[in-house]
Amino acid sequence: MSEQPPPWARPREDTGQMFPSRRVREENPEPNRPARPPAAPGGPPPGPRPPAAPGDTEPAAVRRDPHIGLVTGPVTYTAVAEAHRAGIGVVAVVMSAVIAMVALLATALAGRAGGVLLLTGSALIAACVTAVVLADRLAIRRGMGSECRFVLRAETGRSVTWSLHGAPRNDLLRTGDLIRVVPGPRRQARAVEVLAAPDGPVVRRLTGGGLLAPVQWSGLALAVVLLAFTTAVLFGVF
């Protein structure tokens, strides 16, 4: 009796038969597909840009100016009181006047200055001091020492508090005014222009200045004059 081969060594009974999947592949072979062309690089094609159509224009960029916007919130006005501390110009001219008067009296007591020089010098000293003090008082009453504070809601959407020094009270800003701020140092406006539209025209312009700056500079100038007069008296120029 011959030995039977193991099952895995026996020949398959379906040898030579065609299964459905094999029959489909052999009867309808897949056509050869052409190679895919390489992808074009991104961006516009090389060469000059074609002219745009007459009505095809790019929209203009939206402007965002931080110094143009609406006045929001209350506008406050603070006037410098008449009893305020004197500025550097007033102090300088008063101190120079005292020094000049002492030098003039000392020269007269020493016999080096006559009555004409004493009267002329005293009148000059008194005139310089009086002029600066009166100018300081007048400037305060006219509002040159005032401060106007307001909040600007700019086109950027940011709200910033600004101050304008030396603006007359009758030209105060009002809430809702469309303005353009001419900026200065430390959030202080050099001028404020009230606009009829974002691009103008300007309805009115408020120009600021330093707190009593013209008076103080005048006081310093007269103080230098008095010191020069004192030097001339001490050295016997007159």
With 0.85 as the threshold, say if the pTM is over it.
no
Angle, alpha carbons 88-90-91 (nearest 5°): 65
Above 80 in pLDDT, residue 218?
A: yes
**Residue 73 clears pLDDT 90, i.e. is over it:** no
Task: For residue 20, tell me if it sits in a domain.
Answer: no
Instruction: Determine contact, residues 237/109, Cβ cutoff 8 Å.
Output: no
Q: Assess contact for 70 and 153: CB atoms under 8 A.
A: yes
**Residue 9: inside a domain, yes or no?**
no
Measure the CA dihedral 67/69/73/76, to 10°.
50
- Tell me: do 96 and 198 sit in the same domain: no
**Are 127 and 228 contained in the same domain?**
yes
Q: Is position 50 within any domain?
A: no
Q: What is the pLDDT of residue 210?
A: 59
Q: Is residue 150 part of a domain?
A: yes
Q: Is 70 helix (H, G, I), strand (E, B) or coil?
A: strand
Average pLDDT over residues 92-118: 87
pLDDT in tens, 15-38: 555 555 555 555 555 556 666 666
37: cis peptide before it, omega within 30°?
A: no
Q: What is the pLDDT of residue 144?
A: 63
**Structure confidence at residue 111 as a pLDDT band (50, 70, 90):** confident
CA distance 216 to 35: 89
Q: Is the confidence at residue 5, as pLDDT, over 80? A: no
Asked if residue 168 lies in contact with residue 183, where contact means CB atoms within 8 angstroms, the answer is no
pLDDT of 195: 92
pLDDT number for residue 128: 92
Q: Which domain, by its residues, includes 183?
A: 68-80+144-207
- Which SS3 state, helix, strand or coil, does residue 84 take? coil
56 vs 177: CA distance, rounded Å: 37
Chain position carrying tokens 């006047």: 97
Does residue 76 sit in the same domain as residue 185?
A: yes
Q: Taking 80 as the threshold, does the pLDDT of residue 75 lie above it?
A: yes
Asked if 150 and 75 sit in the same domain, the reply is yes
Answer whether residue 97 is part of any domain.
yes
**Does 43 reside within a domain?**
no
Cis? peptide before 201, omega within 30° of 0: yes
**According to the model, what pLDDT value does residue 134 have?**
87
Structure tokens given for 46: 């090389």
What's the mean pLDDT in 56-64?
Answer: 61
Phi-psi region of 176 (alpha: psi -120 to 50; beta: other; left: phi over 0): left
Mean pLDDT of the chain, nearest integer:
78
* CA 188/CA 182 separation, integer angstroms: 9
For residue 178, what pLDDT is reported? 93
183 with 218, same domain: the answer is no
Considering the domain architecture, whether residues 193 and 223 belong to the same structural domain is answered as: no
Assess whether 219 and 123 both reside in one domain.
yes
Do 138 and 148 belong together in one domain? no
Let me know how long the chain is: 238
- Comparing C-alpha atoms, which of 125, 124, 177 is closest to residue 152? 177
**CB atoms near residue 20 (< 10 Å):** 7
Looking at 52-66, 135-149, 198-212, which range is the least confident one? 52-66
Q: What is the mean pLDDT of residues 64-71?
A: 89
Q: Are residues 119 and 166 in the same domain?
A: no
Whether 159 has a pLDDT exceeding 80, the answer reads: yes
pLDDT for residue 209 is more than 80: no
CB 71 within 8 A of CB 201: no
Q: How many domains does the chain have?
A: 2
